[in-house]
Structure formats: C-alpha cells, structure tokens
Amino acid sequence: MHKYIPILDWGRRYNTMALSNDLVAALIVTIMLIPQSLAYALLAGLPPEAGLYASILPIILYAIFGTSRALAVGPVAVVSLLTATAIGNVAQAGTAGYAIAALTLAFLSGSFLVLMGVLRLGFLANFLSHPVIAGFITASGILIATSQIKHILGISAEGHTLPEVFLSLFHNLSQANMLTASIGIAVMAFLFWVRKGAKPFLIRLGLPARLSDFGAKAGPVLAVFVSTLAVFGFDLISKGVAVVGEVPQSLPPLTMPDLSPELVSSLLVPAILISVIGFVESISVAQTLAARKRQRIDPDQELIGLGAANLGAAFTGGFPVTGGFSRSVVNYDAGAETPAAGIFTAIGLAVAAVTITPIIFFLPKATLAATIIVAVLSLVDFSILSKTWNYSKADFAAVSITMLVTLTLGVEIGVTSGVAVSILVHLYKTSRPHMAIVGQVPNSEHFRNILRHDVETHSDILTLRVDESLYFANARYLEDQLYDLAAQRPNLKHVILMCPAVNAIDMSALHSLEEINERLALSGIKFHLSEVKGPVMDRLLNVDFPKHISGKIYLSQHQAITDLNREPKSDQTFSRRASDQYDPA
C-alpha cells in the first residue's frame, strides 16, 4: 500500500522542522509560479487562468502519488508547445472547444501515464534516446521563442513551424506596435539581467545572500507588477498594448473532458508523445534532485504520480502538465523537504487565483511573452551537435534530423522521426556485428583473430567468431558472410561458429542457423557450434536444434578443433547426436 501511495510513508514522519522548511520553499515557488503559469497558458493558446488551475490540483495529486521529494509539477514550456500544436489541429484557439480539447488531451495523457505505470511499461520512454531529446528540446525552445515574437511586437502571426512563423511575422511586421515592443524588449532585458546579475547586485547593496537569492527569484513577479502598473497608470490599453484582460476570480472549476471517439482518436498520438516526453523530462529532474540526498525514485510509480496530476488537470480546467526543471530546482534549493511543500504551493496558487485576477486584467501579453522567451532560451543548447559529431556520427544524424524536422515540419513529426532514426541507426549498427576468422595460438588452448595474430589454421576447417548477440537485424548478414566464406574455400569440410559473445539467439537467428546448417550440408560441409553460453544452449535444446545440426556443439573451441582434426578425412559416419557433446552444467 505504502508503495503505491508514498504520502502514507513520509506523512507519518512529518514534523515542525520539515513544516517550516516546506512553508518557506512553497512561498518562493508560488511567487515564481504565478507569472510562469500564466505565460505557459498563453503559450498553449489557453486563457491565463488555465495555467493557474493546471498548477493547483495536479501539484496536490503528485504530492500524494509521486516519489520525488522536491519535484514541482505544472505547465512546462515544451509540453505547452506540444499542447498548442495538438489542439491547434482540432479546434480554433480561444474557442470553448479549444479549452475542452486541452482537458481531453490532459485526460488521455494522464490515463496513458497511469496505464504505463500499472503495466510497468516505463521502458517505453527509452525509445527517446538522449540525442533525440536534446535535439528536440533545443528545436522546441527555438520554436517557442519565435512563436512569442508576435506578442512582443504586438502583431498577429500563425503557424507551427519556423518557416511558417517567420513568413507570417514578416508579412505583418508593418503593424508592429512600438509601445508593446518597448515593454516586451525592456522586460526581456530586465529578465536576462535578473538571471545573472540580480543576486550579486542585491548582495552588493548589502542584503544577506539568502534574501538576495529570493529577490532574484522574485524578478519576474516584479516585471509583471511594474508592467501591469504602467499599463494601468498610463492607460496603455487605449494606445494598443494588448493585455491579458478579464480573468474569472475563482478556485479551479470542475470540468469534464470531451471523450467523443473522433476527438479521442485525433488526440491519442499527441497525448502519447506528450506523456512520454513529459515523463522523460520529469524523471530526469527527479533523479538529479534525489541523488543529492541519496533518495530513491521509482520510475513506474512516477508514471502513476504524473498520470494522477494530469487527470487532476483534466477535471479542474487545466491542460497537460509535468515536472518542471527550473521550478523543481528552486523548490529544492529553497529547502523543500517533503511533497508537503507542493501542497502548500498549491494553496498559495489557489489564494492567488481568487485574489490577484483583477490586477492581471492590465498585465501586458508582451510581459508574459518576454518571460517565456527568457525561460526557453536557456533550453537552447547547440553543444549536443558538436558533442555527438565528435562521439558518434550515428548519434549526430539522430540529433540533426530531429532538430531539422522539428523546426521545419513541426514538433510531432520531429520527435517521431528522431525516434525512428535512432532505432534505425541502432539496428543498422548491430546489423553488421564484428566477426573474426580465428586460429589456434600454437601450443595453447587459445584462439585469436587470424588477421592480428600468428595462429594455426586448417584448410578444411573454418572457425568464425561473432562478437554480438544474434537476432533478426544481423541474422541474414551472418548467413551472407558464411556463404561467401564457404564459396571461397573449395576444400572446406567443417565450419565452426564460435559463440563466446553471443548472449542471445532469437527465432530469426535460429532460422538462419538452420538455413546455414542445411545449405552447408547441401555442399557437403558440416556445421558446428562452440562455446555456446548456458541460457542460449537451453533454448536451442528446447527446439532440438542439436539434433538437426549436421556437425556437433562443443563446449570449448579447443575441444572442437582437437575432435575435428582427429577424425579420419574419409570418415562419413559422423555422430548426429550432437547433444551428447554438450554439458549444460
């Protein structure tokens, strides 16, 4: 029971010390989350309050079901972008259908995460290789930043890919509002400075380090406050500055996702992508923070925690959420000791939802856009390109294709092609395993590559060592190689496949071994195996392979060579009961 509801575990041991630490952390995170939640709702194409709602119940549900002590769940940049793309295909932004589709997406994503957790399918997330994620996040960061330029300039622009957005921006550039642009650029400049310069500046002013740090975290709130005040004080709305506008002053409402078959079927694939990408991002943050205190993260339980959070978002007017990097680090650094910090943050945001919304009316969209741009540009990191280039060209191909496709054709196809390329590249690499023809090191029981060592061979015996497990991607390659080698050697009588590095033989490879056996037999060559590992041999025995093989299966290569050399060259009454030779112990 405790395993599935971690709160039962840490809840019992909760004390005043932890309470005070959690309260401080919650205060700092709440202040940070208010502008962030509003901004990511804007990015997802939803009304700003959806961002607040998506941060309240989801945080509480994660605190109950999740295993990380410090993870802060809520809307994050990449998931919000994916949300905008997915819903943009089924509804018009700003309509009621759009907001309901966001609920459906959160519901599907939550259900899929819970299902993966219950079925312990967390390994599916492994399909997203590191280069694909890195390339995708960088490309998404660029896409997100460009998508916000329209708010900074006060113009309209459309599209989900870089060329579309740029073309659209360029087309409407003449309508730019200078006042809006001034606010946007000023806030961006301020926020960039806050990131690096605010803390040292406050310390130089004489504030204690901890308070300075807090001050720096409050930078975005200050930007929101000042720019809102400016709009209100100077009546900038009449001068064309776009603001957030009317926001209902309420706690998260009870909402129902639309589960009609056509909406579900068109959002299913995006929901799966969002789930997997969100999970990978979240688990990586959770593990980093857990490692610092030697705590444990259970990936399958994390799936359930994140799934519950998304289901919560679906029923309380939110949209898909996941564990965010920056907010979690802030939560951890601020001293959060237990998930109770998350619960207090949720309470703080709920208070905000019922109090500050009248002020938010005057908040310029340009300020929110600036917040987003500054946040996502920290995601953009091209170093993965040079790193993979140096390390492995295959991985470089995966990164660059992911980036290029994401930027030019869109996020969903981008990440999908990245996954496809990774798998393709992996299969290609293992499809041509390293093989060596080996001979005997004189006066020893060792066998080595004939190209690298001075070894003894026999013209009628060929020994090939394969340095890889045999499976469908390389089974036919092995066949081709063996047939070629046999065709080149007219005196050949015996082929020995030496398997010390073969950890597994799947059905395709078994079929290939049977074909090899049969085809070599057609040209009068006997096929033997040596040094087969125990578990592999067990499977071969299951299907009576040792009885079908024309030659024998030897425990050691030395035994094989000794036996085959002893055999009189004209003797054709070779034992077929190869399994006699093998000692499975």
Q: Does 436 engage in binding with its own copies (CB under 8 A)?
A: no
DSSP class of 239 = G
Q: CB of residue 279 vs its own copies: minimum separation in angstroms? A: 11
Of positions 9, 445, 480, 580, contacts its own copies by CB under 8 A: 480
Q: Does 297 engage in binding with its own copies (CB under 8 A)?
A: yes
Tell me whether residue 13 or residue 452 sits nearer to its own copies (CB atom).
452
Q: CB of residue 565 vs its own copies: minimum separation in angstroms? A: 23
Q: Any long-range contacts for 331-334 (C-beta under 8 Å, 24+ apart)?
A: 331/25, 331/28, 331/29, 331/70, 331/71, 331/72, 332/70, 332/289, 332/292, 333/213, 334/24, 334/25, 334/28, 334/29
Of positions 160, 195, 426, 493, contacts its own copies by CB under 8 A: 426
Answer whether 384's CB lies under 8 Å from 399's CB. yes
Of positions 294, 452, 566, 569, contacts its own copies by CB under 8 A: 294
Q: CB of residue 420 vs its own copies: minimum separation in angstroms? A: 10
Q: Does 231 engage in binding with its own copies (CB under 8 A)?
A: no
Q: Does 292 engage in binding with its own copies (CB under 8 A)?
A: yes
Q: CB of residue 329 vs its own copies: minimum separation in angstroms? A: 13
Nearest residue to 4 (alpha-carbon basis) of 117, 125, 122, 124: 117
Q: Does 207 engage in binding with its own copies (CB under 8 A)?
A: no
Tell me whether residue 542 or residue 573 sits nearer to its own copies (CB atom).
542
Q: CB of residue 104 vs its own copies: minimum separation in angstroms? A: 26
Q: CB of residue 390 vs its own copies: minimum separation in angstroms? A: 5
Tell me whether residue 62 or residue 396 sits nearer to its own copies (CB atom).
396
Tell me whether residue 220 or residue 546 sits nearer to its own copies (CB atom).
546
Q: Does 195 engage in binding with its own copies (CB under 8 A)?
A: no
Tokens standing for 112? 């899929």
Q: Does 172 engage in binding with its own copies (CB under 8 A)?
A: no
Of positions 1, 12, 17, 126, contacts its own copies by CB under 8 A: 126
Q: CB of residue 292 vs its own copies: minimum separation in angstroms? A: 4
Q: Does 20 engage in binding with its own copies (CB under 8 A)?
A: no
Q: Does 88 engage in binding with its own copies (CB under 8 A)?
A: no
- The one-letter code for the residue type at 501 is A
At 439 the three-state DSSP class reads strand
Q: Does 392 engage in binding with its own copies (CB under 8 A)?
A: yes
At 113 the three-state DSSP class reads helix
Of positions 17, 451, 522, 585, contacts its own copies by CB under 8 A: 522
Q: CB of residue 137 vs its own copies: minimum separation in angstroms? A: 13
Of positions 218, 264, 380, 394, contacts its own copies by CB under 8 A: 394
Of positions 391, 413, 562, 584, contacts its own copies by CB under 8 A: 391
Tokens standing for 177? 């509002």
Q: Does 471 engage in binding with its own copies (CB under 8 A)?
A: yes
Q: Does 378 engage in binding with its own copies (CB under 8 A)?
A: no
Q: Does 452 engage in binding with its own copies (CB under 8 A)?
A: no
- The one-letter code for the residue type at 141 is G
Q: Where are the beta strands (DSSP E) in 354-474?
A: 435-440, 447-449, 461-466
Answer whether 83's CB lies under 8 Å from 44's CB. yes
The 10 Å CB-count burial string (b at 16+, else e) for 531-560 is bbeeebbeebeeeebbebbbbbbbbebbeb
- Per-residue HEC secondary structure of 21-89 comes to HHHHHHHHHHHHHHHHHHHHHHHCCCCHHHHHHCCCHHHHHHHHHCCCCCCEEECCHHHHHHHHHHHHC
Q: CB of residue 77 vs its own copies: minimum separation in angstroms? A: 21
Q: Does 204 engage in binding with its own copies (CB under 8 A)?
A: no
- Residue 241 to residues 231, 327, 491, Cα–Cα distance (Å): 8, 29, 88
- Per-residue HEC secondary structure of 452-474 comes to CCCCECECCEEEEEECCCECHHH
For the chain, percent helix, then strand, then coil, each to nearest 5? Answer: 65, 5, 30
Q: Does 390 engage in binding with its own copies (CB under 8 A)?
A: yes
Q: Does 440 engage in binding with its own copies (CB under 8 A)?
A: no
Burial of 521: CB neighbours in 10 Å, binned 0-12, 13-18, 19+? middle
Q: Does 484 engage in binding with its own copies (CB under 8 A)?
A: yes
Q: CB of residue 130 vs its own copies: minimum separation in angstroms? A: 4
Burial of 111: CB neighbours in 10 Å, binned 0-12, 13-18, 19+? middle
At 498 the three-state DSSP class reads strand
* Count of residues interacting with its own copies (CB under 8 A): 74
- Using the rule CB under 8 A, give the single segment among 163-171, 230-238, 286-294, 403-411 that binds its own copies: 286-294
Neighbours of 315 (CB within 10 A): 18
Q: Does 198 engage in binding with its own copies (CB under 8 A)?
A: no
Answer whether 224's CB lies under 8 Å from 40's CB. no
Q: Does 371 engage in binding with its own copies (CB under 8 A)?
A: no
Tokens standing for 192? 């960039």
Q: CB of residue 234 vs its own copies: minimum separation in angstroms? A: 49
Q: How far is it, in rounded angstroms, from Cα 129 to Cα 131? A: 6
Of positions 296, 382, 547, 565, contacts its own copies by CB under 8 A: 296
Q: Does 553 engage in binding with its own copies (CB under 8 A)?
A: no
Q: Does 67 engage in binding with its own copies (CB under 8 A)?
A: no
Q: Does 574 engage in binding with its own copies (CB under 8 A)?
A: no
- The one-letter code for the residue type at 498 is M
Neighbours of 259 (CB within 10 A): 11
Site string for its own copies, 485-504 (x = CB under 8 A): -xx--x----------x-xx
Site string for its own copies, 248-277 (x = CB under 8 A): ------------------------------
DSSP string, 170-231: HHHGGG--HHHHHHHHHHHHHHHHIIIIIHHHHHHTT--HHHHHHHHHTHHHHHHHHHHHHH
Tell me whether residue 333 or residue 479 sits nearer to its own copies (CB atom).
479
Q: Does 288 engage in binding with its own copies (CB under 8 A)?
A: yes
